[in-house]
């Protein structure tokens, strides 16, 4: 019985952790090319989920709604890059920090006015009746989150490694100046990374909404965890976020079970402090070696 | 959500003032936007329906004339500070006959002292937190102008405990949110378990925060302790997360808790996982007798809805206006103090949709706040969520209420 409960806590936690990992991956995508992050990433998750919900209300089937939401996310990512990041980067300033926060706040108030302040259910064709594996209950809905998250991360990594465009993005990540010298537009690579990051946020929104419901505050709760995951894993670690995300999710579940529900967030924060103290580049990060 | 309709507007026109001094001026307050809005809006709409019906008959007979009712509406947004400001504003109006409303206990605590200071008569509905009335008995005030028309948490927790005992669910887990409402609900439950002979064994006590979506840990602790039922105190969205968690873990044990389990945002977000959930209600949206059937039909027609966002709030708002109007008629005055005197000794029975109210309030007794509480346990029933609606949990209650509502 006890083993089963631990198993249940670890599995449920790790599956939720994959959502943190997916959003953290969105942070990594833009950080690697431009050394900048969208602090309004959580609001992108939320707005995309609302757009997806509106599509469903308009009668779009699930299979069609997902691509529409992803396209919306990509466009929103591009808009963030143009409005809040590009000028700051050109001026080598840190203005993008404030600007992305402002864009996030704007999206938050806009969606409160458009969609209201209530949490709303998100319809999905995927069943939430539990399946039993070795005494552990898992719902197909949770499995869909895991498959979707791992799937899209795999595809983007494949794209970065196997296509010319992807390699260009990688080149800009490695050294933007050198990449410019061989004729790669760093600006375009950054735009592409923001579009992909927005798309990843939209997917996270579509995947997690049937479990958590959709509401204006849904992004804030997720994004803080995702940020810890990105930092603990290292902002340039690729698949590291998957392991750290699952680990953090499982740890949270176990903590709230054994220490009490009030202590749920504590181990994640301790982990963050420890990681920053011991490995400031992240557990899976590479320390940048600059040859002079 | 209901589509906007012209009908509420037209109803509004019916209740417009003729000219000052020739009307009975009643203020309706509550959260008409935000998370508590289902309760606030339903209360307001129920009250305005009663007012429109009274006005359609010419108004309330005071002396030789019939005075129509004039409405003042204020949205407190469920915010304590807004509630205090509105109470100050309203208590400065010298022609106000009285106030009906308030959903949130915090708003009541912040605002009502202004009404009490100026002696403005207020009927609280549907806020249920015990403190709204006990604050006055604790302060030992001699004379009180505040009345309550809602099944307070004391009644509700006693019903919840009794229901668990009746169903033979002796091992229970307590789940509550970390707000004042949740914590005082937990204390009420523990007190009631004691009071009812300690038949229930509390095997786990767990809390959760506003905004929590994952209750796996709390529910698994309840499961591993062998709980046969979960007694829960919180509001809509988190209650839904608990119901969905039970569904996910395949735990087939009932959720029993406060009337918030009938909020539309619980019912909608929990979906089929909400089925079988039990909670005290003062009104069930079922046409159990001609009086209720007529009320449901005119409410749906006036506001163009198929389901009331919060049936309890709508019915309580409606009946509260009828009781207030009866007090005006008895006082033969629009003076708020005379209306208070009349409310404390209402002679004529009031035929409402929840019950026929015989002498609902009595003279304020600082030692017993029940003197200004209208509801007793017999006016409440257990409701059960079934396929997106709240129905009677016990068929016997249906028959009992159908008869009670018919009057004599």
User: Structural domain boundaries of chain B?
Assistant: 7-151+286-375, 154-280
**A1 close contact with B: CB closer than 8 A:** yes
Q: Please give the residue of chain B at the shortest CA–CA distance from A208.
A: B213
Question: A-chain residues within 8 Å CB-CB of B221?
Answer: 257
Pairing verdict, β A136-138 and B171-177: unpaired
Question: Considering the domain boundaries, does residue A94 fall inside one?
Answer: yes
Q: What percent of chain A has pLDDT over 70?
A: 97
- Crossing angle of the two packed helices B80-91 and B105-118, in degrees rounded to 10: 20
Query: Is pLDDT at B216 greater than 80 in this prediction?
Result: yes
**B76 close contact with A: CB closer than 8 A:** no
| Bigger pLDDT: B403 vs A207 | A207
Q: Do A121 and B271 touch (CB under 8 A)?
A: yes
Question: Considering the domain boundaries, does residue A290 fall inside one?
Answer: no
**B224 close contact with A: CB closer than 8 A:** yes
Give the model's pLDDT for residue B120: 95
Query: Is pLDDT at B15 greater than 70 in this prediction?
Result: no
Question: Considering the domain boundaries, does residue A13 fall inside one?
Answer: yes
Question: B-chain residues within 8 Å CB-CB of A5?
Answer: 220, 223-224
Question: B-chain residues within 8 Å CB-CB of A16?
Answer: 214
Residue B254's nearest CA partner among B156, B383, B380 is B383
**Angstrom distance (rounded) from CA B76 to CA B103:** 9
Nearest-CA distance B115 → chain A (Å): 30
Question: Considering the domain boundaries, does residue A292 fall inside one?
Answer: no
Asked whether the domain spanning B154-280 has the same topology as the one spanning B7-151+286-375, the reply is yes
Phi, psi (degrees; rounded to nearest 5) at B54: -65, -40
Q: Can you tell me whether residue A235 is helix, strand or coil? A: coil
Average pLDDT rounded to a whole number, residues A68-74 = 94
Nearest-CA distance A135 → chain B (Å): 10
Q: Which residues pair with B98 in a beta bridge?
A: B26
Give the model's pLDDT for residue B18: 43
Q: Do B214 and A221 touch (CB under 8 A)?
A: no
Give the model's pLDDT for residue A1: 53
Question: A-chain residues within 8 Å CB-CB of B208?
Answer: 261
Question: Considering the domain boundaries, does residue A180 fall inside one?
Answer: yes
**Angstrom distance (rounded) from CA B284 to CA B311:** 7
Query: Is pLDDT at B20 greater than 60 in this prediction?
Result: no
Query: Is pLDDT at A21 greater than 80 in this prediction?
Result: yes
**B79 close contact with A: CB closer than 8 A:** no
Span B7-151+286-375: which CATH code? 3.40.50.2300
Give the model's pLDDT for residue B45: 95
Question: A-chain residues within 8 Å CB-CB of B223?
Answer: 5
Question: Considering the domain boundaries, does residue A126 fall inside one?
Answer: no
Average pLDDT rounded to a whole number, residues A47-58 = 92
Question: A-chain residues within 8 Å CB-CB of B265?
Answer: 118-119
In total, how many domains does chain A have? 1
**B81 close contact with A: CB closer than 8 A:** no
Query: Is pLDDT at B182 greater than 90 in this prediction?
Result: no
Question: Considering the domain boundaries, does residue A123 fall inside one?
Answer: no
Does the domain spanning B154-280 belong to CATH 3.40.50.450?
no
Range of the domain at A153: 2-118+138-278
For residues B174 and B205, the answer to whether their CB atoms sit within 8 Å is yes
For residues B269 and B236, the answer to whether their CB atoms sit within 8 Å is yes
Q: Do A213 and B34 touch (CB under 8 A)?
A: no
Question: Considering the domain boundaries, does residue A95 fall inside one?
Answer: yes
Query: Is pLDDT at B97 greater than 90 in this prediction?
Result: yes
């Amino acid at each position: 019985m006890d083993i089963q409960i631990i198993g249940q806590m670890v599995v449920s936690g790790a599956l939720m952790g994959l959502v943190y990992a997916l959003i953290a991956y969105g942070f990594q995508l833009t950080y690697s090319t431009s050394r900048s992050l969208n602090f309004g990433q959580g609001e992108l998750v939320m707005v995309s989920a609302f757009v997806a919900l509106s599509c469903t209300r308009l009668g779009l089937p699930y299979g069609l709604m997902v691509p529409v939401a992803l396209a919306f996310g990509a466009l929103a990512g591009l808009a963030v890059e143009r409005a809040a990041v590009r000028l700051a980067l050109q001026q080598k300033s840190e203005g993008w920090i404030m600007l992305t926060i402002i864009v996030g706040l704007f999206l938050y108030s806009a969606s409160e006015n458009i969609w209201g302040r209530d949490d709303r259910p998100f319809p999905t064709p995927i069943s939430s009746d539990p399946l039993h594996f070795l005494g552990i209950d898992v719902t197909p809905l949770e499995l869909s989150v895991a498959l979707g998250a791992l799937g899209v991360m795999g595809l983007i990594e494949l794209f970065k490694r196997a296509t010319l465009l992807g390699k260009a993005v990688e080149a800009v990540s490695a050294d933007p100046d050198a990449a410019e010298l061989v004729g790669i537009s760093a600006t375009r690579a950054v735009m592409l990374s923001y579009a992909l990051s927005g798309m990843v946020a939209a997917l996270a929104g579509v995947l997690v909404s049937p479990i958590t419901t959709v509401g204006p505050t849904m992004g804030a709760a997720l994004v803080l965890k995702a940020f810890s995951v990105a930092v603990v894993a290292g902002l340039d670690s690729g698949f590291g976020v998957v392991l750290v995300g699952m680990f953090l999710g499982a740890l949270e579940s176990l903590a709230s079970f054994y220490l009490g529900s009030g202590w749920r967030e504590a181990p994640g924060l301790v982990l963050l402090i420890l990681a920053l103290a011991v490995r400031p580049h992240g557990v899976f990060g590479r320390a940048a070696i600059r040859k002079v | 959500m209901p589509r906007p309709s012209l009908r509420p507007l037209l109803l509004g026109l019916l209740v417009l003032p003729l000219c000052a001094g020739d009307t009975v001026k009643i203020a309706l307050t509550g959260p008409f936007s935000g998370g508590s809005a289902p309760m606030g809006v339903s209360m307001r709409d129920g009250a305005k329906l009663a007012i429109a019906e009274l006005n359609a008959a010419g108004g309330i007979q005071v002396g030789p004339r019939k005075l129509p009712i004039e409405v003042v509406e204020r949205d407190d947004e469920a915010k304590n500070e807004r509630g205090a400001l509105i109470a100050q504003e309203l208590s400065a109006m010298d022609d106000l006959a009285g106030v009906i409303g308030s959903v949130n206990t915090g708003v009541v605590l912040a605002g009502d002292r202004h009404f009490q200071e100026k002696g403005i008569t207020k009927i609280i509905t549907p806020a249920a937190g015990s403190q709204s009335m006990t604050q006055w008995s604790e302060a030992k005030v001699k004379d009180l102008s505040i009345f309550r028309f809602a099944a307070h948490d004391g009644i509700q927790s006693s019903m919840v405990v009794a229901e668990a005992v009746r169903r033979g669910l002796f091992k229970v887990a307590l789940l509550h949110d970390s707000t004042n409402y949740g914590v005082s609900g937990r204390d009420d439950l523990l007190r009631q378990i004691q009071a009812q002979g300690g038949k229930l064994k509390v095997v786990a006590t767990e809390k959760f925060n506003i905004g929590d979506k994952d209750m796996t840990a709390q529910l698994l602790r309840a499961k591993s302790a062998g709980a046969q039922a979960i007694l829960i105190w919180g509001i809509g969205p988190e209650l839904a997360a608990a119901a969905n968690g039970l569904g996910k873990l395949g735990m087939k044990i009932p959720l029993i808790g406060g009337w918030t389990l009938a909020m539309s945002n619980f019912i909608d977000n929990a979906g089929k996982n909400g089925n079988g959930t039990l909670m005290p209600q003062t009104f069930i949206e079922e046409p159990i007798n001609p009086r209720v059937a007529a009320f449901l039909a005119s409410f749906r027609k006036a506001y163009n809805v198929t389901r009331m966002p919060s049936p309890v709030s709508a019915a309580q708002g409606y009946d509260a206006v009828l009781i207030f109007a009866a007090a005006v008629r008895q006082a033969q005055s629009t003076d708020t103090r005379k209306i208070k005197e009349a409310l404390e000794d209402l002679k004529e029975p009031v035929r409402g949709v929840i019950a026929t109210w015989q002498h609902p309030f009595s003279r304020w007794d600082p030692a017993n706040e029940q003197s200004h509480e209208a509801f007793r346990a017999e006016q409440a029933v257990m409701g059960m969520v079934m396929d997106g609606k709240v129905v009677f949990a016990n068929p016997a209650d249906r028959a009992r209420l159908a008869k009670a509502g018919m009057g004599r």
